[in-house]
Chain A
Amino acid sequence: MNTITRMPTVASSSPGTAPVVQVVGLRKTYGSKVAVDDVSFEVARGEIVGILGQNGAGKTTTVEALAGLRTADGGTVRVLGHDPQRDPAPVRELLGVQLQESRLPAKLRVAEALRLYASFYADPRDPEELLTLLGLQDKRDTPYQKLSGGQKQRLSIALALVGNPQVAILDELTTGLDPQARRETWDLIEAVRDSGVTIVLVTHFMDEAERLCDRVVIIDDGRVIAQGTPGDLARGDHAGVTFRMRLPQPLDAALLVGIDSVTSMREVGRDLEVTGGATVLPDVIIALHSCGLVPEEVQTISPSLEDAFVALVGRPPQEDPS
């Protein structure tokens, strides 16, 4: 016999197609308050999946259950086949977590922090390589308290990656960052994914989810109310097209009402907004052209994930979920 008996490691328990993260019917209550009612989703290897929801929707509790920081009241959670509740040790080796509002000791220096956290893992990444990847080489001897918000966030990401994880959870990654730092962070997350790390991104920024995520899971009041690609969710049920145009002279509305693909029209300031089927834009332009009219300006309006989110959740983003 020259068969090698493998220990039950991750490699053998996830033969490529098995989900990296699997959550089924997760439930968590604090006293009488239901934080997570019924959450199920999966994350495949190499994906960036966004967990979206308002503050208090149950996002953070969900990822805390993934990280083994919370004991669920019901349902099952698997990370690379391991149960974070009952068998947390392998999960801690394989899952990197960047938690919301976790600071470091004020006087701990950047390179020290990375080397320290690297020492906790069996097979860590090279701290020097991470310093370069995150653009922190110049800050290696800077104490944590002297870093800018963006630098702190990058260090936090580096610490989530220093254990050489197969999955990284990034919670409210860009909250409090300026627009420039946010864009840099997004580029970085894509680079991290390209290096083979599966990413679960918790956010309440729709633009962030639209930009980064392959799929999003929208949680509201502790339940998953929608999931899919950002594009699919944004288009929603009405797979139509909306555009606005500015005409050189007022238009007889009857001209457009007669076109089959037009479903609605309204005036928006000096513009006319037209919504309709897939061919509505060429149909309208041709009809106008046949009357000798050429729009001065045409602007197509893409439905955004934010619109879809507001439609799904049923209230504006600022409203308190209670």
Chain B
Amino acid sequence: MTSQTLTPASSHTGTRGLSALITAELRLFLRDAGNVFFVVAFPTVLLIGMGLAIPGMREPITDLPEPWLGLRAVDLFVPLMLCVAAATAGLSTVPAYLASYRETGVLRRMATTPMRPQGVLFAQAVVQLAGVTAGGVLALAVGSLVFDAPMAQNPLLALVVFLLATASMFGIGVLIGGLAPKGATASGIGMLIYFPMLFLAGLWTPGPMMPDAVEAIATYTPLGAASQAMSEAWFGLGMPWVQLVVMLAWAVLMFTVAARTFRWEV
């Protein structure tokens, strides 16, 4: 028998089933080998590739002042990989998931149930953040174990920078995913932004090797600011207030615009 409950139906609306939704999204994420590779493994693969294959990466730096003197290029890449992890998820899997969930009608179907389609966004954010964290931790572990690279001198600051970097990258990802008509289009747009972001983060010219003019511009881009702030957290240079504010501003701006422009339906 179905008994009509006497509690108002709206008491749990929107949150009932949220943990089941997160579990389901996590399963789906793990079933996609491409996701797992890009979000979790790619930063580590990049680090190992650069650290072992490029000559001179493990030679101590002799032509830079303190605190860089005596470090190796590969040491500079280790904190950068945390930013790469955030950007990879934020600019590839986040927009692709959201756009394809709209394209295929997953959000629309959800809208007819007591679960709100926003719940899918939340579940995706939790899962992707877990993926980025796993990717970052894996890169740090390999950096430490394989290359004996130094860890952050200011771990708390590094954590704050990591979260702000992830928030600003996810903000861009949600904005793209909310506007791109298809999953494939969203991935394409994400990739167009991804590579300039990596450049400004110093993937080709890590830390102090970046030309001054580029560095001045990079400070005001989300991933450039993240990379500079992460360097400061890692090598104990001070408090990167400007970069922290830049990342926060990007995150707030992106999520605000995304909230206004997000299209729930085709």
Contacts and interface: CB of A to CB of B under 8 A. Distances in A.
Interface of A: 6-7, 9-11, 67-69, 89-90, 92-97, 99, 101-105, 107-108, 112, 115-117, 119-123, 159, 163-164
A99 B113 contact: no
B106 A10 contact: no
B217 to A, nearest CB: 39
B137 interface: no
B119 to A, nearest CB: 9
A271 B27 CA distance: 66
The size bracket of the interface on B is 20 to 34
A60 B134 CA distance: 44
Interface of B: 2-10, 12-13, 16-17, 20-21, 24, 27-28, 31-32, 101, 104-106, 108-109, 111-115
Contacts of B8: 7
Nearest to B31: A107
Given A112-B24, A116-B21, A123-B5, A103 B106 contact: yes
Contacts of A105: 28, 101, 104, 106
A94 B115 CA distance: 13
Given A102-B108, A108-B24, A119-B20, A89 B2 contact: no
Contact of A92 (B3, B17, B27, B114): B114
Contacts of B101: 105
Contacts of A119: 16-17, 20-21
Nearest to A166: B2
B105 A101 contact: yes
A126 to B, nearest CB: 11
Contacts of A11: 4
Contacts of A92: 13, 112-114
Contact of B109 (A68, A99, A122): A99
Contacts of A112: 24, 27
A272 B120 CA distance: 64
Contact of B7 (A7, A95, A103): A7
A116 B6 contact: no
23 contacts: A7-B7, A9-B6, A69-B112, A92-B13, A92-B112, A93-B114, A95-B112, A96-B112, A97-B112, A99-B109, A103-B104, A104-B106, A107-B32, A108-B24, A115-B20, A119-B21, A121-B17, A121-B113, A121-B114, A122-B16, A123-B2, A123-B3, A163-B114
